[in-house]
Structure 1
Amino acid sequence: MYYNVDSINLNSSYDKNEVKSFLKRFELNYEDVDYSVVIRENNEIIATCSKKENVIKCFAIDENYQGLGLSNTLISKITEKLFLEKRYHSFIFTKPENQYLFEGLNYKNIFTTNKVSLLESGNKNINNSLEKLKQEYNISSDKEYATIVMNCNPFTLGHRYLIERASEENENVIIFVVEEDKSVFPFNIRYEMVKKGTEDLKNVIVVPAGEYIISSATFPTYFFKKNDNTLKEYTKLDCNIFGKYFVPKFNIIKRYIGSEPSCEVTNIYNETLNEVLPKYNVKVNVVERKEINYKPISASRVRQLLKDSNIEEVKKLVPKTTIEILNSEDGETAISKL
């Protein structure tokens, strides 16, 4: 039987609520999408799928219509949209019981937790991407590395303190800077801040984290700072991908994290790192946050001071190199959006 597939109007509350109600039957949330398609019969939704950039999600088919090839129809429509946007590499979030459907459509599994599977397809894959990163940044196969994963929105003296600790205690350190552009300061500015702020530390390599660490693909709820019923699974997914792929590829033996006195999402992420990484023979080192005047230094505090135009206080919390970048045209553009 032939079914029509229609994209929905994301500006229509009615259309979005219709999809949201359908997905609730499958215990799926409907949020942060830029394109959605539905299949209807007698004006009722019987199947749907959405995407955000190159991440496919919110996939569900009414149990009475499963096994009829609707998954192929949905993914073909989404793939068509991806190609129009010149996106040739994509991820799919799905429940483990649906994984086989996408493997039949040439998607390869990256990792599966109890409740979520992440798969990818296209002109890139995780092993090739990490190998390319290793070659580009001259990361040696003969050395062991400690690592830190940082967003640095912006780069503070707290970040610098954590990096110094890792640099002092290890022969080689890799800083993975979160590449996802969902922060006030875009990736190119944050990367430059870290690079310039650590160039005196000769055993530290600063590397873009890519799509496989704290990204919309591995950890979508991180950027919303929301603790919901999916958060723990996403932290497990991100931490296990790091353990399964990054650890052997880069000879990682330690991961440093800062203590987290205020953010619940980061706290849960840190807990999961402590649970997961020892299984991959990685030691997790928790370093107490650097304080000034008995207050932990945080990027959120710096952003608030920037919003309040309190530059003198900002100067107490960030390196001089960060101030220089904040005073640049790109820095001022980012600050204007606060």
Structure 2
Amino acid sequence: MREEAIGNELLAWYDANARILPWRVAPGSSERADPYRVWMSEIMLQQTTVAAVKAYFERFTALWPTVGDLAAAEDSAVMGEWAGLGYYARARNLLKCARAVVADHGGAFPDTEEGLLTLPGIGPYTAAAIASIAFNRPAPVMDGNIERVMSRLFRVEEPLPTSKPVLKDHATRLTPTHRPGDHAQALMDLGATICTPKSPACGICPLMSACAARKAGIAAELPRKLPKKAKPTRLGYVYVARRADGALLLETRPDKGLLGGMLAFPTSEWSDAPTDTPPLDTQWHDPSLEVRHTFTHFHLRLALRIADAPQDVTPHRGTFVPFAQFSPSTLPTVFRKAFDLGRGVTVDAASAKG
């Protein structure tokens, strides 16, 4: 089956089976997709599922309907709304990009891949997605779903990530000048619903007759991947200090680094042999509890320390925040775990240490 025929089969399938998503317009619609909403969705969807993103997307676009609204938002408000979605550098780049669009482009996103790539936080995949979906540019979009479809459709047995250039070459040849945005979204949907990582539904795939891996009986084996390195484990301490009036000791993490700009409980450094460095001088209780969390590149284990702090104590780091002004939902997941773990702990003066 030639590229044009494959594209036609794919679009016909998409017209009948497209997922309904809050950032999309209907397939084949004369309505143009809003580049702001496309951009927002693509940033949120990086390493995150559609199911997890929907509620965040709807809340963000209700609070900040335009790129200008987002650019004018307080950093703390945006970071607080992002809490729980993970990969927090995306939220910082979201603000940087919105402000660059307003300051350097008059509030309008560039309409080419090249222009979009000049914006903070926009890489090749996101630039191609916005260019094709919002501006109808024939830009090949490559995400995990599309790489999987290409590897099976053309029987690319070389493992990822070394096969990425070959897969992109195939995707480039397939990308049409007619409805390129719908073509890209059709491939995304095909990979998400039919050409799935495990047990692909080859029997109902619109491209079954063209799929070289299916003909060879190895569709479920592709794409092959190089073995992943084992994740290291880092250790540390997390300090939950509370006053009699309910105020909690919190700090804003440095802008640069993991969870940058997010509200958090103070911690020690995260390393193989961390030093216990409490953020204030008082008696600290060791409840023999541990917060465990996994990031992209490492596992984290934080030993919990609890303190009932004096009302007049001055911390070395952070600020006591009145409980009425605090919402656990504004914390990144690792610190929500610490909050939940420490809530039921009663400090035993006999076991506290200063």
Is TM-score (shorter-chain normalized) higher than 0.5? no
The TM-score with structure 1 as length reference comes to: 0.22
Q: Flag the structure with more relative contact order, 1 or 2, with Cα contacts below 8 A and sequence separation at least 6.
A: 2
The TM-score with structure 2 as length reference comes to: 0.22
- For the pair shown, which has the larger CA radius of gyration, 1 or 2? 2
